Structure 1
Amino acid sequence: MKKFQLCCIGHITLDKVITPQSTVYMPGGTAFYCSHAIRCFGDVSYTLVTAVGATEMSVIEQLRATGIDVTALPSSHSVYFENIYGDNPDERTQRVLAKADPFTPSSLPDINAQVYHLGALLADDFSIDVIKDLARKGRVAVDSQATSVKYANSMFTPSTGQTSGKPSPTSTTSK
């Protein structure tokens, strides 16, 4: 079985971005952007494991067409974020309109990698058991976005662990 240098596991999102000038729909999420960044290195053996709804398979095919190795697990939905920006582009309101199925030890394929990067977007994307299982096989890095914000009633707010009124770079504020 092939051993990859890096495996990113995370949801690809469908983002609805609303600004005073326009509304745009685009793919996003840690897994999506990590995949494009790693592809630029060329000499890194890399694979992506994601879970998407059937309606987002065109994004998977686009990634594969660029040479990215992708395993797409079925999910009842894809993560769907709505980002609303006003006149100040540094402030946004983010809502979660749909959530994908979480990753579990039994849902993940047997992929060997030196490093596993977990691109967590929401707190329940990965159980601690996933982290423990992957740590037995290689090093594990977990994106902190899911731990820096709270999600309730489809809205994100800064977590209670913040020490200032300003959001951290990975936080999303609700105005």
Structure 2
Amino acid sequence: MKKYDIVMIGHVSKDILIQKGKESRITGGAVVYSSVAAKRSGASVLVITKTAKKERRLVKFLEDEGIDVVVLDSPETTSIQNLYESEDMEGRKVTLLASASPFSVDELPEVDGKIFHLAGLFYGEIPSELIFFFEKKGKLALDAQGVVRCSKGGNLIFKDWEKKKELLPRISYLKTDAVEAEILTGETDRVKAAVMLKEAGAGEVMVTHGSEVILYSEEGLNRAPFTARNLSGRTGRGDTCFAAYLAWRVHHGVEDSLKFAAALTSIKMESPGVFKGTREEVLARIG
């Protein structure tokens, strides 16, 4: 059985993006931005996702990138609308238009990996049983949006993760943005929130923000700036950053991995869609 550097689990999404009155439609979802970023960073990647049978074509471009994909059946494919309401692209209204069915252990294929990245979009997509299942197979990486973002009548609301005390100690790599970190800790200061999440049991804690990404680990605090010249590719920032970090972290230290992730994400944010650059461009950006 092939052993992947990273196995990613999460829904793909038919995304509707509205920016400055202009609408565009793309295939999104954390696993989309994450898998391409990790693959182009040099990692071997398997994506496990769900779509309606008639929409399996949505993942073909991932296969064209050299990413292995397992598509499980769902009555519907997830669809999300992102309405950006501010010039800095930080404020957005997220609406869940449709949702694929949750994952279950029974339907998962036999897989082997170093890191299992749980890349959910909304609470309920990835049940807690998957954390117990995958922790026996390798290190766990969790995107906090999949446990604190909830849908109420399609509208996005945030709720604290009820099982965080039990499950955070099982997570080797945790990614949040500033809002999610505050929901989980009650702390508005990003650094203090990262420290609190580490003290709650998470191994390495990443917090993304408009200007930088910070990471708190056993080595203490590391930070790296985003240097994007424009924000036309803002959607997928956190997904891209976390995946680039995980991919580089397989063979590199914390500080180098964070610098690599920030540089790759900066390049990605300068054009819509997934990261389209190369490792060489990222290393040149670091300088």
Shared fold by TM > 0.5? yes
Q: Are 1:76 and 2:75 counterparts? A: yes
More helix by share: 2
* Identity of matched residues, %: 26
CA–CA separation in structure 2 for the residues paired with 1:12 and 1:103? 13
What are the equivalent positions in structure 2 for 1:112-123 lying under 5 Å apart? 112-123=112-123
- CA distance 1:3–1:83, change in 2 (3 Å): same
**Paired residues of 2:44 and 2:67 also in contact (CA < 8 A):** no
**Paired residues of 2:13 and 2:29 also in contact (CA < 8 A):** yes
Unaligned runs of 5+ in 1: 171-175
What are the equivalent positions in structure 2 for 1:26-175 lying under 5 Å apart? 26-42=26-42, 44-86=43-85, 88=87, 89-159=89-159, 162=183, 163=186
CA–CA separation in structure 2 for the residues paired with 1:55 and 1:24? 21
Note the C-alpha offset of 1:165.
8.1
Note the C-alpha offset of 1:136.
1.2
Note the C-alpha offset of 1:169.
5.5
More deviation in 153-162 or 54-63?
A: 153-162
- Alignment partner, residue 173 of structure 1: none
For 2:36, what is the secondary structure of its paired residue?
Answer: helix
Unaligned runs of 5+ in 2: 161-181, 190-206, 210-287
CA–CA separation in structure 1 for the residues paired with 2:86 and 2:9? 34
| Greater Rg by CA | 2
CA–CA separation in structure 2 for the residues paired with 1:87 and 1:122? 23
For 1:129, what is the secondary structure of its paired residue?
Answer: helix
Q: TM-score, normalised by structure 2?
A: 0.54
CA RMSD after TM alignment: 2.3
CA–CA separation in structure 2 for the residues paired with 1:92 and 1:45? 33
More deviation in 94-103 or 53-62?
A: 53-62
Note the C-alpha offset of 1:148.
3.4
Letter matched to residue 79 of structure 2: Y
Note the C-alpha offset of 1:34.
0.8
Q: Which runs of 4+ in 1 moved over 6 A?
A: none
**Paired residues of 2:121 and 2:149 also in contact (CA < 8 A):** no
Note the C-alpha offset of 1:35.
0.8
Q: Which whole-Å deviations, capped at 9, do the CAs of 1:14-57 have from their partners, x for residues lacking one?
A: 11112333110011111001111011123x22211111123432
CA–CA separation in structure 1 for the residues paired with 2:85 and 2:128? 37
- CA distance 1:127–1:148, change in 2 (3 Å): closer
